[in-house]
């Protein structure tokens, strides 16, 4: 009942050697490359080719790590409160909410950019692209991914910061330009404040690095896993889950509980 072979090119091991994407773990990796390079290696199957590529990748990853008290970090804290012996489950619970609402705009923006510019060496007329994208999304009454932010306005300072590094490293290319044009065009057409938000800036940079749009959410998830560990450590020292659920239980059921 074999229809096809099972094959993985990521890693292999013998009792005395471990090799990951062609690099010897003990000789080439441990003590030689850092965690950012290792993440790069897992995603691109090679090390960064130069300091610029390394810098822009790290800039993108660090933005994704920590977003404060969010539904995601609260799910982690709630889970830790019930299963402190299973830290892996607390991290996993926090990752599970990284879906369409908070991280989806990253994939969506990357997809929009990559479908508009299939070949970054031949981007075409970016201004015209932006115009037709905004017009089409509005005609379909769909939200344009990556523009506007409920809190960070009139501009999203994180987009500015990432685009600054992109310019310094040579990764502010056609995708970032298109994204910037889309933001401006959306503001023009809607007469509303619609800054390029951080997920759009990341989508543009990732696209310029040739990350397929389907992979973008994976980067966010990996980085956030690192951040959630920080929330577990704080929950160990200064728990809030217990207080929070008891308050919520009290308020949410007060209309039903008999007054004594």
What residues between 223 and 242 interact with a second copy by CB under 8 A?
223, 225-234, 236, 238, 240-242
Q: Does 88 bind a second copy (CB under 8 A)?
A: yes
Nearer to a second copy, 129 or 165 (CB): 165
The full DSSP string for 48-113 is -SSHHHHHHHHHHHHHHH---S-HHHHHHHHHHHH-TT-HHHHHHHHHHT-STTTTHHHHHHHHHH
199 is a site residue for a second copy (CB under 8 A): no
Q: Which of 17, 132, 135, 193 binds a second copy (CB under 8 A)?
A: 17
Is residue 52 involved in binding a second copy (CB under 8 A)?
A: no
Nearer Cβ to a second copy (134/199): 199
Nearer to a second copy (CB atom), residue 71 or residue 124: 71
In the complex with a second copy, which residue's Cβ is closer, 124 or 212? 212
Q: Which of residues 120-179 bind a second copy (CB under 8 A)?
A: 151-153, 157-158, 160-162, 164-165, 168
Residue nearer to a second copy on the CB measure, 54 or 181: 54
For residue 46, what are its two tokens?
A: 């090679």
- Binding of a second copy by 93 (CB under 8 A): yes
Strand partners, 13: 18
247 binds a second copy (CB under 8 A): yes
| 3 state SS of 24 | strand
Does 245 interact with a second copy (rule: CB under 8 A)? yes
- How many residues are listed for the chain in this entry? 260
Q: Looking up tokens 């207080």, which residue turns up? A: 243
Check residue 6 for interaction with a second copy (CB under 8 A): yes
Distances (CA, A) of 58 to 55, 65, 125, 166, 169: 5, 11, 30, 11, 12
The residue (of 97 and 123) whose beta carbon lies closer to a second copy is: 97
In the complex, least distance from residue 239 CB atom to a second copy, rounded to whole angstroms: 9
> Is there binding between residue 191 and a second copy (CB under 8 A)?
no
Which of 47, 63, 116, 144 is in the footprint of a second copy by CB under 8 A? Answer: 63
Please tell me the count of residues contacting a second copy according to CB under 8 A.
128
Kindly give the interhelix angle for 174-190 and 157-169, rounded to the nearest 10 degrees. Answer: 150
> Considering only residues 65-84, where is the footprint of a second copy by CB under 8 A?
65-72, 74-75, 78-84
Alpha helices by DSSP H, listed for the chain, are 35-44, 51-65, 71-82, 87-96, 104-116, 126-139, 157-169, 174-190, 198-208, 213-237, 241-253
Q: Which residues contact 200 (CB under 8 A, 6 or more apart)?
A: 105, 109, 145, 146, 147, 159, 179, 182, 183
Shortest spacing between CB 153 and a second copy, in angstroms = 6
């Amino acid at each position: 009942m074999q229809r096809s072979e099972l094959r993985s090119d990521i890693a292999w091991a013998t009792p005395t050697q471990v090799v990951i994407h062609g690099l010897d773990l003990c000789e080439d990796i441990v003590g030689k490359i850092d965690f950012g390079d290792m993440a790069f290696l897992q995603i691109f199957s090679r090390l960064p080719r130069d300091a610029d590529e390394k810098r822009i990748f790290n800039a993108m990853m660090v933005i994704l790590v920590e977003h404060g008290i969010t539904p995601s970090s609260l799910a982690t804290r709630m889970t830790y409160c019930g299963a402190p012996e299973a830290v892996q489950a607390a991290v996993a619970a926090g990752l599970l909410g990284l879906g369409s609402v908070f991280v989806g705009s990253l994939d969506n923006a990357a997809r929009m950019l990559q479908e508009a510019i299939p070949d970054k060496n031949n981007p075409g007329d970016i201004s015209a692209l932006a115009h037709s994208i905004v017009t089409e999304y509005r005609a379909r009454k769909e939200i344009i991914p990556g523009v506007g932010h409920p809190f960070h306005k009139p501009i999203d300072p994180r987009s500015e910061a990432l685009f600054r590094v992109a310019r310094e490293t040579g990764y502010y290319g056609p995708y970032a330009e298109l994204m910037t044009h889309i933001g401006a065009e959306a503001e023009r057409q809607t007469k509303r404040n619609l800054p390029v938000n951080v997920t759009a800036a990341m989508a543009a940079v990732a696209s310029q690095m040739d990350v397929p749009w389907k992979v973008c959410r994976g980067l966010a998830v990996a980085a956030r896993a690192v951040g959630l560990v920080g929330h577990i450590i704080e929950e160990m020292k200064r728990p809030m889950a217990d207080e929070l659920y008891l308050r919520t239980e009290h308020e949410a059921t007060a209309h039903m509980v008999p007054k004594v």
